[in-house]
Amino acid sequence: MYNEINPDQTDRTGGLPKEESSRQSHFIARCRGWAGDFEKTHHRRPTASVQTFGCQMNARDSEKLSGILEQIGFELKEEEDADLVLYNTCTVRDNANQRVYGRLGYVHSLKKKNPAMLIGLCGCMMQEESVIEKIRQSYRFVDLIFGTHNIYKLAELLYERLTSGSMVVDIWKEGRDIVETLPTERKYPYKSGVNIMYGCNNFCSYCIVPYVRGRERSRRPEEILEEIRRLVDEGVVEVMLLGQNVNSYGKNLETPVSFAGLLKEAEAIEGLKRIRFMTSHPKDLSDELIQVMKDSEKICPHLHLPLQSGSSRILKIMNRRYDKEQYLALAKKIRTAIPDISLTTDIIVGFPGETEEDFEETMDVVRQVRFDSAFTFLYSKRTGTPAAAMENQIPKEVAQARFDRLLALVQQISKEMSGRDTGRVLTALVEETDRQHEGMVTGRLGNNIMVHFPGAPELVGQIVPVRLLESRGFYYMGRMEEQ
Ligand code: 5AD
Ligand code: SF4
């Protein structure tokens, strides 16, 4: 699961290599020395726990962080009573921030019992100056802080902390070189996320992502395809191509490439069985992409297409650059071209100035499109975004009442939609054994719905045909068919 870096062959005493990944291997080697000393003193390896908040991109970053920690010699564990705890944070909504502060309170109590414990914070929340100030003042027990652009530097920053003995803070405003050649520790052997781009240029008026993840940068297609090939060699059968707005992939490369073009190339990779991607922006979802999905054997029939609001007036203020009619027409075009597709979405309730009529427009789109599932969010004011400065913020009770109505509608439709394949045979990637029911396994269908069926643990990681016998609301019970 690692890249070919061998820290044992890196000179631990020499000068610093100039090339970034060699430089980081050098620091991994130095930290490895520390880990060795730790083991001699404590008669066990140091333990580390990486706690992830937020989206798939953070989950992927956490795999990279875990890979570095493993190479250093840490034993990874789930629980937070470890020698090093690293919180990979999210800041898209304020409740994500509040959860991190809550967890810091808890981990502080652990550190009081184990003063040598190291606590690190990284990810989107750390890109906000006000957060760094607050931590410097009120959470002085934190040892290490870095942001979204320099996660590959973990070993170097850790080494600095170990040698300096004081809090290390390293936040970059913008991404520099994309360093992708460091070790990763994947959570699942059979599926993996693959970053295809970083950042976002859309500046939706409510969203903090462009400020914390920086401008849009696409990775070169050769690099992405090479990474996928390597993953397939390691046993991966499903990849999830990740970006804030995959539909604008490749536009700013020296030799521009379309996302649909990238998908076609990925499709040709032998041994790769399934391709997913996330997230699509409705404003630039091309006909070419719909055609490529329709013709594909490997791209899963699932599109996550955030609506945000059904009101054209609100969409304009949100700076989404499509209106209600355009969204409805796009959803119809997709469902007509690919009838089996699962359409999922994100919706924000209570955006500043949202009237009852605006909200009804959202309910109307939900009724018309009939989303297979939808994530619904209460609008959260993010300092620094244009929407935060808007005057007509919606009272919490009003937003909450609308949210409850929307959620009830979304859930009712989702339940009806997710049963629509009952009786059919679809393929499922077996992801795990069912912890509650012995002899059962859990698989994921191409449309992202889960199915539980009798099966042996050896099936994990395989793609098998399953008859969907019964819908239980948001999942199926099934039976494996002869292959
Ligand atoms: N408040 C509420 N929801 C938000 N999202 C992004 N910013 C905010 C905000 N300020 C939601 C959007 C996006 C999803 C990842 O998070 O729906 O698609
Ligand atoms: Fe945020 Fe809009 Fe970019 Fe999505 S497209 S990350 S909502 S700014």
Matching residue, tokens 């009120």: 138
Q: Over the stretch 400-432, which tens digit does the pLDDT of each residue have?
A: 999 999 999 999 999 999 899 999 999 999 999
Residue 94 Cβ contacting ligand 1 at under 6 Å:
no
Q: Is the pLDDT of residue 180 over 90?
A: no
pLDDT, residue 5, reads 40
Among 459, 456, 457, 476, CA closest to 468: 476
Q: Over the stretch 66-120, which tens digit does the pLDDT of each residue have?
A: 999 999 999 999 999 999 999 999 999 999 999 999 999 999 999 999 999 999 9
Q: Is the pLDDT of residue 339 over 90?
A: yes
Positive or negative, the Cα torsion across 38, 41, 42, 43?
positive
How far is residue 36's CA from residue 42's CA, in Å, rounded to a whole number? Answer: 10
How far is residue 420's CA from residue 427's CA, in Å, rounded to a whole number? Answer: 15
Rounded to the nearest whole angstrom, what is the distance from the C-alpha of residue 92 to the centroid of ligand 1?
6
Residue 206 Cβ contacting ligand 1 at under 6 Å:
yes
Judge contact between 27 and 160, C-beta under 8 A.
Answer: no
How far is residue 275's CA from residue 282's CA, in Å, rounded to a whole number? Answer: 20
Orientation angle between helical segments 356-369 and 324-337, nearest 10 degrees: 10
The mean pLDDT value of the chain amounts to 94
Mutation test residue for ligand 1: of 53, 56, 91, 92, the one with most atoms within 8 Å of CB: 92
How far is residue 158's CA from residue 163's CA, in Å, rounded to a whole number? Answer: 9
Rounded to the nearest whole angstrom, what is the distance from the C-alpha of residue 143 to the centroid of ligand 1?
30
Residue 200 Cβ contacting ligand 1 at under 6 Å:
no
Q: Is 73 left (phi over 0), alpha (psi -120 to 50) or beta?
A: left
3-state secondary structure of 417: helix
Mutation test residue for ligand 2: of 200, 284, 382, the one with most atoms within 8 Å of CB: 200
Matching residue, tokens 């400065």: 389
Q: Is the pLDDT of residue 317 over 90?
A: yes
Give the residues surrounding ligand 2 with Cβ less than 6 Å away: 200, 202-204, 207, 209-210, 244-245, 281
**Assigned token pair, 48:** 């580390």
pLDDT, residue 4, reads 37
Through-space distance between the first and last CA atoms of the chain, rounded to whole angstroms: 29
Atom 9 (ligand 1) nearest CA: 380
User: What average pLDDT does range 212-223 have in this prediction?
Assistant: 94
Atom 5 (ligand 2) nearest CA: 202
How far is residue 261's CA from residue 450's CA, in Å, rounded to a whole number? Answer: 29
Q: Is the pLDDT of residue 170 over 90?
A: yes
Among 461, 438, 382, CA closest to 210: 382
pLDDT, residue 184, reads 86
pLDDT, residue 1, reads 34
User: What average pLDDT does range 115-129 have in this prediction?
Assistant: 96
User: What average pLDDT does range 154-165 have in this prediction?
Assistant: 96
How far is residue 144's CA from residue 75's CA, in Å, rounded to a whole number? Answer: 19
